[in-house]
Amino acid sequence: MYKKFENYLVDTLNSPAKKKKILWATLFAFIFAVALIPTKLVLAKMLPGKNNDTYTVYLDLANGSSIEQTRHVSECVVNVLQKEPEALDTEVFLGTGSPLDFAGLIKGSHFKNSENVAEVVVNLTKKHHRDEPSYMMVQRLRPVIQKECGNIYPQTNIKFIEPPAGPPTMAAIVAEVYGNKAEGIRHLAERVEGVFKKTEGLVDIDIMQDEIYDKFEVRVNTDKISKSGLDIKHVNDILYLAFEGMGVAVKNSQNATEQIPIFLTLTPEGKKFSSRDKNAIDIKLASLTLLNQMGMMVPITEIVEIVAVKSNPMIMSKDLHQMTNVLAETDMVSQVYPLMAARNTILDTFGDEYEITKTGLFNLQLVDKKTKEIYDLKWDGEMKVTLDTFRDLGGAFIAALVLIFLLMVVYYKSFVLSGIVLLGSFLSIIGVITGHGIVDIFTVDTFFLTATSLIGFIALIGISSRNSLLLIDFTKSLMVDKGMHKTEAIAYATATRAKPIFLTAAAIILASTLLASDAVFGGLGVSLIFGTIAAVIASLLVVPVLIHNSDLERHFNFHERKAVSIMEP
């Protein structure tokens, strides 16, 4: 069989037309493979979803919502989750975050401390005993829960947080809106949110800003307060005591684990306002009295005035620039494509209010046409991590190529041969990309080209350069030591090395099949399997043709001499 292959190679190498055919076919395959990426037949993503035994639902009601309202929504979510046969238990954490996890650390779960937030943790049966991966379950339940529980109170935001496959990020897509005016940022952020909501594939959209709600301010009449012999601290203390309550003293206890505070406040009924307006507050406050220095009782309403105001939203800044985040998660798709779609929509539709210029790779600068205020829109989150990772891995890839090239130059003292080794190893990309395309056809959900695919590709360069190297080395020893002619030497070397090349390739492919079934490292497995196949074809067909085309005699200092018979089995 190897003899047949050797004869075929001799035949091919002796015919320039056949050599050309092989090179053209290679070039065509290469262009075809690379073209799969811009045509979106193969989609790129940093890391695919991971099948987990747990996930968390973040509830975020409008600012100013009460804990009872939050509980109401949480119960609704738990009700839906409990209908799942695969759910084992659910925990609700009201007003605070759940026990911290990797994702929560980045998403700020440990800072949660208000009545309008809650987290629901659901534990599922072990993934081996479950048919449906957790990410599919989340995708299925998300619309159900949002429909049933998201509309109980307006502006309720429900997010699904899955433990990430790789490093956690704030969200799949984060649009940072920078500017100098809070109102301008708010307006632009809301417009961006509107775009996200219309973009296909984006879910769990949220602006990281406080809703502005109505509140009341107690303004002290300075004249009256000094005339009545009271002070502002006194007023504040009493109001706080009445409605929030205060621990006024403690009792040390021998039995309890901690000191016992004595907590003083009004009765729950006494605290309740009849409605949320100025009148109701006036009536309630009228019954609160203060004891002044002269020992007289002064109703609080005598010295204060109630004014309806708007709440002060939180002001956020990043690296000393004021900004607001607009967050979105992706629904089982790569974040790259919805982001580009959203960016295009912004470019197309925001022209009515803003002058838009592109900055950086994907970032935008928007200048308000009326006020000439400058706003910046920058992308962060998983998108930025993806770009950084692909850039770094791309850099690592180029560095690997350069290092291998230098190594080959040192070893062969020839640029041409080193170039051939490099070119040969680069061809494994054909297998990597088409392999992803093929697997994508056969899998239910999208099979992405991920960061791990790139790692596989980088490893492949080494593997296929080794194949070429063994080939060239053997050819060299045949020519130099045994005095064979170029064509025969190449053909014989290729045919002889075919066996170990096949063997090592088979070992890699077999070792990678188990990788290929993993959610996260599937890309690596597929890269190695299909890349190795391409690398084998490249080493056994393309590399011999390429080295045959080069002036081997000169590179090896080959001198014609009487050929030694090497007719071996």
User: What residues between 181 and 210 interact with another protein by CB under 8 A?
Assistant: none
* Smallest distance from another protein to CB 15, Å: 28
Nearer to another protein, 137 or 515 (CB): 515
* Smallest distance from another protein to CB 104, Å: 8
State yes or no: residue 105 binds another protein (CB under 8 A).
yes
* Smallest distance from another protein to CB 353, Å: 25
State yes or no: residue 400 binds another protein (CB under 8 A).
yes
* Smallest distance from another protein to CB 4, Å: 13
Burial of 492 (0-12, 13-18, 19+ CB in 10 A): buried
Considering only 136-144, 329-337, 381-389, 432-440, which stretch makes contact with another protein by CB under 8 A? 381-389
The token pair at 105 is: 């650390």
Cα–Cα distance measured from residue 171 to residue 202, given in angstroms and rounded to the nearest whole number? 11
State yes or no: residue 121 binds another protein (CB under 8 A).
yes
Tell me 34's DSSP state: H
Nearest to 431 by CA among 404, 466, 397, 456: 456
Contacts of 393 (CB under 8 A, 6+ apart): 451, 454, 455, 458
* Smallest distance from another protein to CB 51, Å: 11
Nearer to another protein, 287 or 446 (CB): 287
Contacts of 56 (CB under 8 A, 6+ apart): 98, 101, 103, 104, 119, 120, 121, 122, 160, 161, 162
Nearer to another protein, 95 or 194 (CB): 95
Site for another protein in 23-62 (CB under 8 A): 46, 53-54
State yes or no: residue 67 binds another protein (CB under 8 A).
yes
Burial of 31 (0-12, 13-18, 19+ CB in 10 A): exposed
Burial of 220 (0-12, 13-18, 19+ CB in 10 A): middle
Site for another protein in 221-240 (CB under 8 A): 234, 237-238
What is the sign, positive or negative, of the torsion defined by CA atoms of 65, 67, 68, 74? positive
Nearer to another protein, 354 or 447 (CB): 447
Site for another protein in 300-329 (CB under 8 A): 311-320
Nearer to another protein, 265 or 345 (CB): 265
State yes or no: residue 565 binds another protein (CB under 8 A).
no
Binder of another protein out of 40, 147, 197, 499 (CB under 8 A) = 499
Nearer to another protein, 195 or 225 (CB): 225
Site for another protein in 436-475 (CB under 8 A): 451, 455-456, 458-459, 461-463, 465-466, 469-470, 473-474
Binder of another protein out of 4, 131, 256, 441 (CB under 8 A) = 256
Nearer to another protein, 105 or 347 (CB): 105
State yes or no: residue 92 binds another protein (CB under 8 A).
yes
Residue 123, sorted as left (phi over 0), alpha (psi -120 to 50) or beta, turns out to be beta
Beta bridge partners of 477: none
The token pair at 300 is: 């609080």
* Smallest distance from another protein to CB 44, Å: 14
The token pair at 431 is: 């297998």
Binder of another protein out of 183, 223, 267, 559 (CB under 8 A) = 267
Long-range contacts of 366-370 (CB under 8 A, 24+ apart): 366/188, 368/184
Beta bridge partners of 216: 308
Nearer to another protein, 78 or 332 (CB): 78
> Binding string, 505-544, against another protein, x = CB under 8 A?
-xxxxxxxxxx--x-xx--x---x---x------------
How many chain residues bind another protein (CB under 8 A)?
A: 130
Binder of another protein out of 17, 183, 257, 561 (CB under 8 A) = 257
Cα–Cα distance measured from residue 155 to residue 64, given in angstroms and rounded to the nearest whole number? 11
Nearest to 2 by CA among 424, 382, 493: 493
Nearer to another protein, 148 or 518 (CB): 518
Cα–Cα distance measured from residue 193 to residue 517, given in angstroms and rounded to the nearest whole number? 37
Are 92 and 146 a contacting pair, CB within 8 Å? no
